[in-house]
Structure 1
Amino acid sequence: MVAMYLRLILLLAVILQVSHASDINCKKKGKDVEAKEGEAASLPCSFSDPTKYNKLEVTWQREVGENAVVIHAENPMGKSEESQDRLFSGRTSIPSSWNQTGDTTLTIRQAQEEDSGNYTCIIRGGGRPAYCAFLLLKVNSGSFQLYGGHHSVWIPFLLLVLMQVPT
């Protein structure tokens, strides 16, 4: 009889957890971001009503092949560096008031071409995780590329070369 009551209590606890799972309301899903090598890259991510959630945690991940590596992880007590990918150590931050404002924009200082890739912003608030941003970061070296970039860069160069062709 006691075992039956314990199962019933456990079932009620599971139902209560599922019904109160924090469905975080993401504000922005994000779009592609471009940055110059050596400068800071800002990857936007935010969610609504951060003060209503318990056990808040934000995690930024980057796809590496079929795996995801942690770029930045933080809860209201501070940044968690033990799970952070070593290539990003000391180069990432989010606003210090993120747990009051909901702004979890990731800043990557001194962006490198190797930082280019797909990033995901995940917010947990005591329930199911919310995937609030899926972004592609493109870090450009700033060097001239004839076949890449915007046409306004290479068309004048091409016209200059064509104007010097002897007739």
Structure 2
Amino acid sequence: MKLLLVFVLLHVSQHALGEQTVLADGGRDVLLPFQFSGAVDKDSIVEWSRDDLNPKIVHVLRDGADVPGAQNPRYSGRTALRSDALTSGDLSLTLSPAQPCDSGTYTCTVRKNGAIQDQTMLKLEVRVPDAGLTAGEIAGIVVGVLLAFISGFIIGFILRPRLSNK
């Protein structure tokens, strides 16, 4: 019994120690990966959560179905598990679109009959899209300025002397 308890604690600790960081660009979908190696059936509960939220539930799968009413309103309509999550064990969470306020530590917990079967933690960092100009926008501005300069030159130095001589 003690050996089993040590194994379970070690297994959960390894996940916590090896916390993975996922980088995402704001405004795009992001995948929080988790591959469960055990058997997931309809009696299992899959819960994605963030401890810094109230309510802390980001997404929950219970009795083989999503339970949107249990999740934090911030994530309403923005989360999804794969349709074959139970059969494939791929419990990765898709968050769409990622927002800067989504940055934080996410925990995915798999429970069966109240006991934790597996758990992993991921840190999500959502970057704010760069508001700087693209190369194409800069090129457009440069061309516009050059055209304005050339037009002013033509009007000021070529057409103006001709019109004033008449």
Task: State the TM bucket, normalised to the shorter chain.
Answer: 0.5 to 0.7
1:44 to 30, 33, 43: 33
Q: Residue 49 of structure 2 aligns with which residue?
A: 61
Pair 68,131 (structure 1): closer, same or farther in 2 beyond 3 Å = farther
Pair 119,68 (structure 1): closer, same or farther in 2 beyond 3 Å = farther
SS at 1:82 equivalent: helix
Pair 92,79 (structure 1): closer, same or farther in 2 beyond 3 Å = same
TM-score by length of 1: 0.63
Q: What pairs up with 1:86-125 in 2 under 5 angstroms?
A: 86-125=73-112
- Contact 1:55–1:75 at 8 Å: present in 2 too? yes
- Contact 2:23–2:126 at 8 Å: present in 1 too? yes
SS at 2:68 equivalent: coil
How many residues in Structure 1 have an aligned counterpart in Structure 2? 120
Question: What residue identity is the alignment partner of 2:51?
Answer: E
- Contact 1:46–1:132 at 8 Å: present in 2 too? no
- Contact 1:60–1:72 at 8 Å: present in 2 too? yes
- Contact 1:45–1:132 at 8 Å: present in 2 too? no
Q: Which runs of 5+ in 1 are unaligned?
A: 1-18, 146-167
Instruction: Determine the C-alpha separation between the residues in 1 that align with 2:66 and 2:82.
Output: 11
TM-score by length of 2: 0.63
CA RMSD of aligned residues (A): 2.7
Q: State the identity %.
A: 29
1:35 to 11, 14, 24: 24
More helix by share: 2
Q: Which runs of 5+ in 2 are unaligned?
A: 133-166
Report the Cα offset of residue 56 of structure 1.
Answer: 1.0
Question: What residue identity is the alignment partner of 1:84?
Answer: Q
Pair 47,110 (structure 1): closer, same or farther in 2 beyond 3 Å = same
